[in-house]
Amino acid sequence: MVKAKIRIKDIAEQAGVSVGTVDRVLHNRGEVAEETKKKILEIATTNNYQPNLIARALTSKKQCIFAALLPTPTEEDIFWRKPLDGISEAAAELSQFQVKVEKFFFTHYDEDDFIQQTNDILKLKPAGVVFPPIFKKESLQFIKKLEKNGIPYVFLEAKIKECNYLAYVGSDGVHGGRVAANIIDCSIPVSGDILIINLAKDLENVHHLNNRTQGFLSYFVEYGNNKGLKISIEIPTSKSTVIKEKLDDILSKNRNIKAIFITGSKVYKIAEYLIKNKLEDIVLVGFDPIEQNIKYLNQGTIKYLIGQHPYQQGFKSVKKLFEHVMLHKPISRDEILPVDIINRESYKL
């Protein structure tokens, strides 16, 4: 038979004191005679008393403010709507506990705007922060200030391992790159060349894309059957004119490219180019089942997409902050979410 959990009322009866006296001892509030205090603590310890943290959080009158920092979810960067939806849903659920999530946005791939938003967050002095460390150098500067002020932070989308982060919720970037490599390895001739496209400037500082590239290349070093060239390029903008110029050049010089791997979510930008240039036999693989990508997945131009549960990343990141800050619960530091391999047929299911 499972032993019932002891309550404050039970401790008070055993100690022969009031419920208020027990409450003062257990929560270290007010003066209580040393002998009485010792007796109450002995009863609580012997019976493995566990406070009702949820009830305590519900009755708290102090507002807890968290900050969430994300790229602005524009039509081109629609991926970021999903983690934002998750953050908003978590905030709505936790509003009963006096929790509020202030949202901050920066222009994607704009380091200066990222820095400005982090400065605004520091002025807010939140109880915790959720953000993707997209720019490694600038994120490290932000993290140093957060840690100096004792503000816990949770990563989503990517993590910087050498930091003292509270938690990370997301897929493993290196693993995601290796999954893409395995798909392509099974889809093209052994002698076919592969083009890796990073739609970003300064790849070394764009943390999550860099990890995926490294994972992709490491697969072929260790296991891959493909013996073709692995050609990696950076395109600093997603403007169609720039993409056309870059791809016209690289494809005219490399006629043996049989697959293209996009390290981010703007796979549709490359799909548009392939259709216009009647190059639909190239195996195109990238990340995220966003609306624009699904269109070309259904048409067959995009062969595979890798999903990484962005909604859950946002939702669970806020929940982890709440559990740590408000409930003082131990939490798992790394919650690695699985990646999904999506093709035209599996998506229709």
What is the tens place of the pLDDT at every residue in 223-259?
Answer: 999 999 999 999 998 899 999 999 999 999 999 999 9
Which of 247 and 8 is assigned the larger pLDDT?
A: 247
pLDDT digits over 271-303, tens only? 999 999 999 899 999 999 999 999 999 999 999
What mean pLDDT value characterizes the chain? 90
| 63, 168, 288 from 66: Cα distances, Å | 10, 16, 27
Confidence of residue 203 (pLDDT cuts 50, 70, 90): low
CATH domain 59-170+310-338 topology: Rossmann fold (3.40.50)
36: number of Cβ within 10 Å: 16
Tokens describing residue 37: 């205090």
Residue 348, pLDDT score:
61
DSSP letter for each residue of 217-275 = HHHHHHT----S-EEEEE-S---HHHHHHHHHHHHHH-TTEEEEEESSSTHHHHHHHHH
The yes-or-no answer to whether 59-170+310-338 and 173-307 have a common fold is yes
pLDDT score, position 56: 55
Q: Are 341 and 179 in contact (CB under 8 A)?
A: yes
Structure confidence at residue 349 (pLDDT): 43
Report pLDDT for 171: 95
Q: Are 137 and 205 in contact (CB under 8 A)?
A: yes
72 has pLDDT over 80: yes
Q: Is the pLDDT of residue 1 over 50?
A: no
- Neighbour tally for 35: CB within 10 Å: 8
Topology annotation, domain 173-307: Rossmann fold (3.40.50)
The Cα 87–Cα 314 span in angstroms is 5
Categorize the per-residue pLDDT at 60 as very low, low, confident or very high, splitting at 50, 70 and 90: low
| Residue reference for tokens 């270290």 | 28
Domain positions in the chain are 8-51, 59-170+310-338, 173-307
Q: Rounded to whole angstroms, how far apart are CA atoms 199 and 160? A: 21
pLDDT at 46 over 90: no
Residue with the larger pLDDT of the pair 161 and 53 = 161
Number of H helices, E strands in the chain: 14, 12
The mean pLDDT of 71-98, rounded to a whole number, is 93
**Residue 61 exposure: Cα atoms within 13 Å on the Cβ side:** 0
